[in-house]
Amino acid sequence: MFLKIPEESALIQEIDIHKNVKLFMKREDLIHPQISGNKYWKLFFTVNNYLEYKPENPLIITFGGAYSNHISAVSAVGHSAGIPTLGIIRGEELEKKWKDNPTLASAKRNGMNLKFITREEYRHKEKLTVFLQQEFPDALIIPEGGTNKSAVMGIKMMLNTHTKDFDYLCTAVGTGGTIAGISEFCEENQKVIGFKVVEDASLEQKISELTSKRNFYLTDADLGGYGKINDDNIRFINDFKTNFEIPLDPVYTGKMMQKVFEMIDADYFSAGSKILCFHTGGLQGVEGANLLLEKQNRDLII
């Protein structure tokens, strides 16, 4: 087994907010220095099952954008396992700029080959996947974000005896694999809240296809759009780190936590509730975000 279950579960850290509810964070961002957060668990069975098959010409292919946490994680997997990787990157204009992009430059250092395609081509990546599988029959092709049925099984590893006593389980939602796994494997009495960081009208349906449970609720937390960073969220992330010594990323967990605080202030949660938020990593994207913010003469994420 290449990806292993850590000897100790991710730290659950209390966030002292002096309210009538108790708030905690499960630090999945700390389980691996490069394959961070939910990406580790989403890749856990997908990669391990592939390597157990011992393909003659191993290759891992996947998809992502300029600052993709998934691209970063898959490149790190390939580097550690000694397996070639290929990233299909959205945006042909990046072909001449990748050296200035911390995520893509890191992926290249990990040995990942990058193929840049137009946004129109990227919209039809399911068709491209068929062609790639024909060209590379031994390849493992992982969808954007890593979400598939194996990923849902991997997310089960984020739940254990230490997560059973919480009333609410909260996670940011991109492609839906993480919330599907939490929904499927949590306790019957637990409520699951997904904080959507991307506008996708079909997201609830996609999640429903991955879990047999209907114990989850989705709320918007995109704060202006996927990957968009507003000044209010920067202030929140910086204050959060100063007050609780926990770094947040501006795409996923940072947006979720701002919305959680708003819901607490609005008395969404009944008094005495215990809330557990999953830190799903993504901190590798902060460097790239700060480069963009610096060009715009805006405050940086500390």
Once rounded to an integer, what is the mean pLDDT over residues 277-299?
97
Check which CATH number belongs to the domain holding 44 and give it: 3.40.50.1100
* Residues in Cβ contact with 266 at an 8 Å cutoff, skipping those fewer than 6 apart: none
Among candidates 105, 99, 50, 100, which has minimal Cα distance to 77?
Answer: 50
User: Which pLDDT score is estimated for 296?
Assistant: 96
Q: Give the pTM.
A: 0.96
Q: Read off the tokens for 27.
A: 């630090």
301 within some domain: no
pLDDT band for 227, please (50, 70, 90 cuts).
Answer: confident
Q: Read off the tokens for 283.
A: 């901190």
Once rounded to an integer, what is the mean pLDDT over residues 39-54?
95
169 within some domain: yes
SS3 166: coil
Within 13 A of 289's CA, how many CA atoms are on the CB side?
26
What domain range includes position 100?
39-146
Once rounded to an integer, what is the mean pLDDT over residues 109-116?
98
The single-letter code of the amino acid at 107 is: A
Q: Which strands sit side by side in the sheet containing 22-27, from one edge to the other?
A: 12-15, 22-27, 274-279, 168-173, 191-196, 216-220
| Model confidence at 63: pLDDT above 90 | yes
**Helix, strand, coil tally for the chain in percent (to 5):** 45, 15, 40
Residue that is last in its domain, among 124, 146, 168: 146
4 within some domain: no
151 within some domain: no
What is the rounded distance in angstroms from the CA atom of residue 260 to the CA atom of residue 3? 32
| Model confidence at 113: pLDDT above 90 | yes
Indicate whether 164 and 235 sit together in one domain.
yes
User: Which pLDDT score is estimated for 214?
Assistant: 94
Residue that is last in its domain, among 94, 126, 146: 146
User: Which pLDDT score is estimated for 1?
Assistant: 75
Torsion of CA 197, 250, 89, 288, to 10 degrees: 170
| Model confidence at 2: pLDDT above 90 | no
